[in-house]
A and B are shown apart, each in its own frame.
Chain A
Amino acid sequence: MNIAVASGKGGTGKTTIAINMALSLGNVQLLDCDVEEPNANIFLNAKMEKSEDVTIMIPEIDEEKCDYCDKCSEFCMYNALAVVPSKVLVFPELCHSCGGCKLVCPKDAISYRERAIGRIEHGYAKGLDFYHGILNVGEAMALPVIKALKKKVNNSKEVILDAPPGTSCPVIETIRGSDYCILVTEPTPFGLHDLKLAVEVVKHLYIPFGVIINRDGVGDKKVELHCRNEKIPILMKIPHSEEIAQLYSKGIPFVNEISVWREEFIKLYKQIQGEIER
């Protein structure tokens, strides 16, 4: 089974849920897809042994063949190419690697070269098969790194994907194709606001989903009421407890110290399995 953990709002506890669930189950592959700030490994301390670059293709101009006709820059909707008299400029950070400039060039003056925008790393920790992606500082496009990560998905394992916050392309790319999506929220007006946005996304992608309320006890009851009214299953509530908060503050997954939670996550997994089969 392939489960994505997403949220809408940042800081609700996606990584906490993903890690604690991963550590409670056996035969798990965990992918940290929040490539702009991959921090799951703070909980795991996996020694990352393998690293591979993620590259995108960007155009290179053969100035011998180019006659500065301007077709490439006219074509490029991202303005990654500029043609001025007797010079073509390439702005690599704007290029989306669509390949269109090469197609429209009448002089065959455009070739492509690889440019690294990030990397993915792999390691093992506590029996977990763990991957994370890292987008280089200054890069605008997270998707190629997330796509490279998802190529590593091993469907013979229980796959857990830790998604970035928000509702834009990196989130969609992460959760797309998952069997189930857990939406983590907190019981506050902010949590509810962004939860509603996240629900729209998963519905649009036809992914079955349920909600985990983290820090239950703070805020108000509006998240719960909303879920009840909309018939969204509340899968689990994690109390706003000092013990859990303290473990978090030290980077310790709470299932390692409070073993009843391990059972809770196994139950959660079985419940999700049931939801999917239903």
Chain B
Amino acid sequence: MKIGISSTGKDLNAQVDPRFGRCQYFLIVDIDTMNFESISNESAMASGGAGIQAAQTVAKAGIKAVITGNIGPNAFQTLSAAAVKIFTGASGTIKEAVEKYKKGELKETEAASVSSHFGMGGMDRDFGRGRNL
């Protein structure tokens, strides 16, 4: 079975990226063989709707679950529609996160863990009003 993990790097020793929509990479890991591939997250710099785009990207990779730190409402809705299970609150390396997942130590999330724009951080002080184009 394949799962997707938001990651700061391209291999299993990389740290879990706490952001979903704006993470650097997704690691797609086959938890039975520990074979993996990395996907660069093109929505990391999207002006809006990053979580939605990222959710579609990982859903297309044929995964059954996503492991990340936090997830916003739009990404949550998109992954749920794609029947992908969501596990939040992960940290440490990708390998550690996968082990925890296998042992059933990660808790499945029933709702978004953060509000929209969370992963944009302090980049833009006015981001809530900025999408006027």
Contact surface of A with B, Cβ cutoff 8 Å: 36, 70, 73, 78-80, 82-85, 87, 89, 91, 94, 96, 140-143, 168-170
B132 touches A91 (CB 8 A): no
A residues within 8 A CB of B48?
Answer: 78-79, 94
Residues of B at under 8 Å CB distance from A?
43, 46-50, 52-53, 55-56, 59, 74, 77-78, 81-83, 129-133
CB < 8 Å: which of B50, B74, B81 contacts A84?
B81
Decide: B133 and A79 in contact? CB cutoff 8 A: no
- Asked if B133 contacts A96 (CB within 8 A), the reply is yes
Q: Is the CB–CB distance between A89 and B133 below 8 Å? A: no
* Residue pair B52, A87 in contact (C-beta under 8 Å): no
Instruction: Report the minimal beta-carbon distance from B123 to chain A, rounded to whole angstroms.
Output: 16
DSSP majority for the B interface?
A: helix
- Identify A80's interface contact among B49, B59, B77, CB under 8 A: B49
B residues near A141, Cβ cutoff 8 Å: 131-132
Report chain B residues within 8 Å CB of A82: 52-53, 55-56, 78, 81
Output the least CB separation between A151 and chain B (Å): 19
Q: Which residues of A contact B131 (CB under 8 A)?
A: 140-141
Find B132's partner among A73, A84, A170 (CB 8 Å cutoff).
Answer: A170
Query: In the bound complex, what is the Cα–Cα distance between A250 and B55 (angstroms)?
Result: 52
Q: Which residues of A contact B52 (CB under 8 A)?
A: 79, 82, 89, 91, 94
